[in-house]
Structure 1
Amino acid sequence: MFLILSFGLLPLGLIAILASLQGARQNEIDHRQSVEARVQLKAQRINSALSRIVLTIRAASGPIRLTGGDSEACRTTLRRLERQQANEGRFALYGRGNEVACASAGFAARAVARPRPGTRAVISLTRDGEALRFALFDERGGLEGVGELPRHRMGEIAELPGTRTEYDLILSQPGRRMIVHEGFEDGPLIRTVDADASVLAGRFRLHIHTGAAPLSAAELLMTLLPIFMWLGAGLIGWLIVDRLLLKPLVRMQRAVSSYQPGDRSFDLPPLATPAREIRELGLAFDRVTRTVARHEAELEAALERQTRLVREVHHRVKNNLQVVASLLNLHARGAKGDDVSAAYASIQRRVDALAVVHRNHYAELEENRGVALKPLISELGANLRASAPAAAAHMQIRLDVEPYYVTQDVAVSLAFLITELVELAMFCGAANVTISLRGKSEKLARLCIESESLRSEAECDEQVFARFDRIVTGLGRQLRTGIDRDVDSGCYALDVVVVDKAER
């Protein structure tokens, strides 16, 4: 129905649109011609004002030179110039020897370079565009007078009484410009018109920027008539579609929105519509909801079985590691010789590190956020402190760890890395070990293990240090990062990729 009405009204709409476009185009041409005429009149007013100033100064130049500086002729001419410019212009008149004869109050005439032969006037804009300056010379190059007109006075000269003031007027010369008038505000629906005119024998350009004339009531009606026609057609089509299509679909949409995952059935509302497709759509959705409910029940059961299996695997791995650690502890107690006991203890510390990772991963399994580093490093430090050899029985392990989470692979490598470096510090006679973890960016944290026994001047067996250094370097490659060693402070530091941070 909407398409039929649209095609039926299409010829009338095209005629109205073409008429509107033709009228708008003619109005734009008329307005452009009007703007061009206005800018020409403004240019003539500026030329006339400057011509009067030039004629006044040149007419008084001879008497001023004859009577000398500060003469009545000079003062009379100055008053006439100021009266012409409503006391806004500032002038200086010159006598014999290019000496200032008289000048406007507060006006300090600037030095003017001698022009090229034959040049009678030098006119230019100031660099900041706030004034128009000029200098007049006689036939021999002698200076007759200088002056300047401020920007707002230039705007008053160019203003045409009784005309609109919503326009921008710019006076320009190569490299400089003056905003003579500023009153036009542009907008998304405003058409703009620009025009130029030559000023002062082509040495300046006067540019106007304004908006097109507003549309008349008849033009507005002709422009909006096609829109009204199309709106009428759309309204009729919408009423038909709304009653026969949209309202039944809205009732079905509400029924679908009220459906929640887990519902075993779908209550199809009564649909008073001749559209058989809508009724079939409701029945199809009812069949889909029954199928989804059945599949959801199967997935929930499978997920529950998978969760129990994963928890059982982690539980068994943790128990097996604890059994291995206990067996190593028993063998270490019955070993003969300190070297054998130390070897058992070293292996036990690494097994304990792996067990700590599994225990913490098992604890975080329900949230599935990864392995929490703060409790992992705390438990690992306690185990290392408890399993320290007699030579390092008084060693202190200080922790400054922020609550970050990492993946299980990263946690295993970090646990081994911390174990290796703390054990190296033990063997080198460390009194204190500091483990810190600070955030560096959204996805990186900085791990630092620092001890005085890791400094360059610390007394440590070279073979022991080389063995541990190879292991630490390999763990750094496994973490895909470089390990920075500061030999002055005894700090091993590296960047750790984190997945989340717990809220304090």
Structure 2
Amino acid sequence: MSEPPPRRKFKPGLAVLLALVLSIAILPLGLISVYQTLKVLEERRSLSETALLEQTQQAASASREVIGSAVSAAEALALTVSAFRGIDGPCDKVMRRIVEQSPNYMFAGFVDDELQLVCTSRGEERDLSGLDIIRTQLTSPDTEIQMQPLSFLGGPASVNVMVPVFDEAQFMGKVLIAVPITALNRSLTGRAPDVDLVLFQSHGEIIATEDFTDDRRAVLPQRTTLEELAERPRHTFREVNRAGMTRDFAVVAIVDGSVFALGSWAPRSRSLILPGYEEAFALYFPIIMWVTAIGVAYVGVHRLVIRHIRRLRSWMRLYAAGRADLEHARLNNAPEELEVVAEAFRAMTRRLDEQDRRREEDLQEKTVLLREVHHRVKNNLQLISSIMNMQIRAARSGEAKHLLRRVQDRVMALSAIHRYLYLARKLSMVRADKLLDEIIQQLVIVGTLDETGQQINVSTEFDPVEVDPDQSVPLSLLAAEAAMNAVKYSGVVKGDDAWINIALKKVENDELCLSVVNSRAPAGEEDAEGDPDGSGLGSRLIESFVSQLNGTLDIDDLPTRFELHVTFPRVWPDIRKNDE
């Protein structure tokens, strides 16, 4: 089988190579310009982030004071509340006075270690052991700041500051001061109009914003959680917020690493999108210069070289497709070097056309001579056949007539081959099916054996295949010899007609199979060797022809029929192999 043609490797054109060379030449200048621009952008971004950090710090100062004062008040109460424990009246009065003196407090109270609210600014006692949402914070010996809407405060959202109370290092409970969320929201309003402010705790819960609505999380960064931000108390970064806008963010700590402020605004330097004049010139100058250089180079190269090369390529393709009228083809205002190439191409086409004409004449002459050779060989073989026919008529012995007839049949088989080659349109390959059909028709005339007059039904089945002329001779002689033997030994079963089946079929691996099958009488005692005197000449000829075909011979001698099968590889001429 023929191998697939190799893939054509991609080769860049002249314009692509020129663009690559110019790009390498301009690259150092472009890198310097880009580096300087990036430095400017980096400095501006650093200034923007520093400004945002300071504004966030200042805007959150009021909130820091509110939460810090609550923590200080709770710490002061933690020092004095143990003295009032177990005494009705004074503890509630102290808590009430703390709330009345500060408009930012809505509740103050003391919760003991058994989660009992024993002292409040409202003068009530309550069991908080069933309040799961704040149990952990109330039992922890650490200061806690958490935003929780407590039910015993009436339900409003508040920031609860819880400071532990100790008596001789023993945990006694916690002082709780509640700051309403509205107070913290007011502390953020109007502080920095360009900055979106958010107060959050280290656990990731939002405490307060300027606009404490359901959309308050839209100003948070998209890919970074509040817990991650709390791990770095003071830093800046740029990221897309949850509303899909690019923002600069700044994080500052407000209270002891537990409460943080997050500020964000639109980047003050949008140089990569809407650059200023100086930045645009520094950033886009390499690109403009590269595009200009590539454009000028492409126009020049296309005008001077590429269009003429494409025209030469089209000439070559037309010539390869069979066009020979390119003598007057000319380039349009091409450089001298390309005109020389075009003239060389035209001279080459003239020489090739002359060589093709001479080769065609030689081929026609050789074809005529070869056909004449086949014609004369065919005539000579027919002459020999005629002489043998005269000898057959003059012979007195039936055995001599039979032997001469067998030799005459072999001569006629050779004559049929040369007759086919003389009339064939193509001499490089021979249609085996047509050749065999012609030979069989000569051997068996209308299905009747001329010597005995016995009627024989002859059927043929030939696939349309081509073989090499060198294979056609042994194949034809093999078919003729096998057919003559089949005609001679085709016996008749009582009540049936004698028959012969001759087939040529394609098989696997580009092989052919010639089959000759004939009927025979069960009790027949014919000589299986194929010649009357028992010399076995027919068998030896068949084996010789099979050897010439490099094939294998299979014979099945059955009671009612005789089968001969020859399988041989098909040989292709050298021209056909090269084409594949």
Question: Scaled by the length of structure 1, what TM-score is found?
Answer: 0.52
Deviation at 1:16, TM superposition (A): 8.1
Cα distance in 2 between the residues matched to 1:223 and 1:478: 82
- SS of 2:444 mapped into structure 1: helix
Aligned residues of 2:553 and 2:564 also touching (Cα < 8 A): yes
Aligned residues of 2:555 and 2:563 also touching (Cα < 8 A): yes
Within-5 A mapping of 1:307-318? 307-318=367-378
Determine whether 1:380 maps to 2:461.
no
Within-5 A mapping of 1:199-278? 218=272, 232-254=292-314, 263=324, 266-273=327-334, 275-278=335-338
Cα distance in 2 between the residues matched to 1:226 and 1:453: 97
Match of residue 400, structure 1, among 461, 481, 500: 461
Unaligned runs of 5+ residues in structure 2 are 1-17, 39-219, 224-269, 274-279, 492-497, 573-580
Partner of residue 494, structure 1: 566
- SS of 2:294 mapped into structure 1: helix
Q: Which amino acid aligns with 1:9?
A: I
Instruction: Tell me: CA distance 1:433–1:3, structure 2 relative to 1, closer, same or farther (3 Å).
Output: closer
Partner of residue 420, structure 1: 481
Instruction: Tell me: CA distance 1:9–1:460, structure 2 relative to 1, closer, same or farther (3 Å).
Output: same
Cα distance in 2 between the residues matched to 1:321 and 1:312: 14
Partner of residue 551, structure 2: 481
Unaligned runs of 5+ residues in structure 1 are 22-160, 165-215
Within-5 A mapping of 1:350-361? 350-361=410-421
Match of residue 26, structure 2, among 9, 13, 31: 9
Cα distance in 2 between the residues matched to 1:318 and 1:486: 35
- Which range moves more in the overlay, 407-416 or 226-235? 226-235
Cα distance in 2 between the residues matched to 1:237 and 1:231: 10
- SS of 1:484 mapped into structure 2: strand
Partner of residue 321, structure 1: 381
Q: State the percentage of identical aligned residues.
A: 25
Aligned residues of 1:357 and 1:371 also touching (Cα < 8 A): no
Partner of residue 344, structure 2: 284
Cα distance in 1 between the residues matched to 2:413 and 2:288: 79
Within-5 A mapping of 1:78-97? none
Deviations 1:278-334 (A, max 9, x none): 111122223223323332332232222212111111111111111111111111111
Partner of residue 210, structure 1: none
Aligned residues of 1:248 and 1:272 also touching (Cα < 8 A): no
Match of residue 517, structure 2, among 408, 432, 450: 450
Aligned residues of 1:402 and 1:437 also touching (Cα < 8 A): yes
Aligned residues of 2:550 and 2:569 also touching (Cα < 8 A): no
Within-5 A mapping of 1:13-162? 13-14=30-31
Aligned residues of 1:425 and 1:451 also touching (Cα < 8 A): yes
Partner of residue 165, structure 2: none
Instruction: Tell me: CA distance 1:20–1:410, structure 2 relative to 1, closer, same or farther (3 Å).
Output: farther
Instruction: Tell me: CA distance 1:401–1:330, structure 2 relative to 1, closer, same or farther (3 Å).
Output: same
Cα distance in 2 between the residues matched to 1:479 and 1:253: 48
Deviations 1:4-30 (A, max 9, x none): 743441214556899999xxxxxxxxx
Q: Which amino acid aligns with 1:378?
A: D
Cα distance in 2 between the residues matched to 1:245 and 1:317: 62
Deviation at 1:467, TM superposition (A): 3.8
Deviations 1:416-452 (A, max 9, x none): 1122222223333533211012332473332210012
Aligned residues of 1:262 and 1:293 also touching (Cα < 8 A): no
Instruction: Tell me: CA distance 1:435–1:7, structure 2 relative to 1, closer, same or farther (3 Å).
Output: closer
Cα distance in 1 between the residues matched to 2:343 and 2:402: 75
- Which range moves more in the overlay, 408-417 or 293-302? 293-302
Determine whether 1:293 maps to 2:353.
yes
Partner of residue 304, structure 1: 364
Aligned residues of 1:444 and 1:498 also touching (Cα < 8 A): yes
Partner of residue 86, structure 1: none
Cα distance in 1 between the residues matched to 2:346 and 2:405: 66
Aligned residues of 1:318 and 1:355 also touching (Cα < 8 A): yes
- SS of 2:422 mapped into structure 1: helix
Determine whether 1:471 maps to 2:544.
no
Deviation at 1:405, TM superposition (A): 1.8
Cα distance in 2 between the residues matched to 1:460 and 1:223: 105
Aligned residues of 2:505 and 2:513 also touching (Cα < 8 A): yes
Instruction: Tell me: CA distance 1:227–1:481, structure 2 relative to 1, closer, same or farther (3 Å).
Output: farther
Cα distance in 1 between the residues matched to 2:305 and 2:284: 30
Aligned residues of 1:392 and 1:429 also touching (Cα < 8 A): no
Question: Scaled by the length of structure 2, what TM-score is found?
Answer: 0.46
Partner of residue 332, structure 1: 392
Aligned residues of 2:428 and 2:469 also touching (Cα < 8 A): no
Cα distance in 2 between the residues matched to 1:225 and 1:476: 83
Aligned residues of 1:322 and 1:355 also touching (Cα < 8 A): yes
Q: Which amino acid aligns with 2:527?
A: D
Cα distance in 2 between the residues matched to 1:496 and 1:408: 15
Aligned residues of 2:554 and 2:566 also touching (Cα < 8 A): yes
Deviations 1:127-172 (A, max 9, x none): xxxxxxxxxxxxxxxxxxxxxxxxxxxxxxxxxx9978xxxxxxxx
Number of residues paired by the alignment?
Answer: 308
Partner of residue 199, structure 1: none
Cα distance in 2 between the residues matched to 1:393 and 1:415: 25
Aligned residues of 2:449 and 2:487 also touching (Cα < 8 A): yes
Match of residue 461, structure 1, among 517, 527, 545: 527
Instruction: Tell me: CA distance 1:473–1:11, structure 2 relative to 1, closer, same or farther (3 Å).
Output: same
- SS of 1:354 mapped into structure 2: helix
Cα distance in 2 between the residues matched to 1:267 and 1:403: 47
Deviation at 1:335, TM superposition (A): 0.8
Instruction: Tell me: CA distance 1:423–1:3, structure 2 relative to 1, closer, same or farther (3 Å).
Output: closer
Cα distance in 1 between the residues matched to 2:449 and 2:283: 92
- SS of 2:392 mapped into structure 1: helix
Cα distance in 1 between the residues matched to 2:341 and 2:483: 68
RMSD: 4.1
Aligned residues of 1:357 and 1:408 also touching (Cα < 8 A): no
Q: Which amino acid aligns with 1:374?
A: D
Instruction: Tell me: CA distance 1:330–1:487, structure 2 relative to 1, closer, same or farther (3 Å).
Output: same
Cα distance in 2 between the residues matched to 1:302 and 1:18: 73
Cα distance in 1 between the residues matched to 2:378 and 2:37: 84
Partner of residue 440, structure 1: 507
Instruction: Tell me: CA distance 1:290–1:335, structure 2 relative to 1, closer, same or farther (3 Å).
Output: same
Determine whether 1:363 maps to 2:429.
no
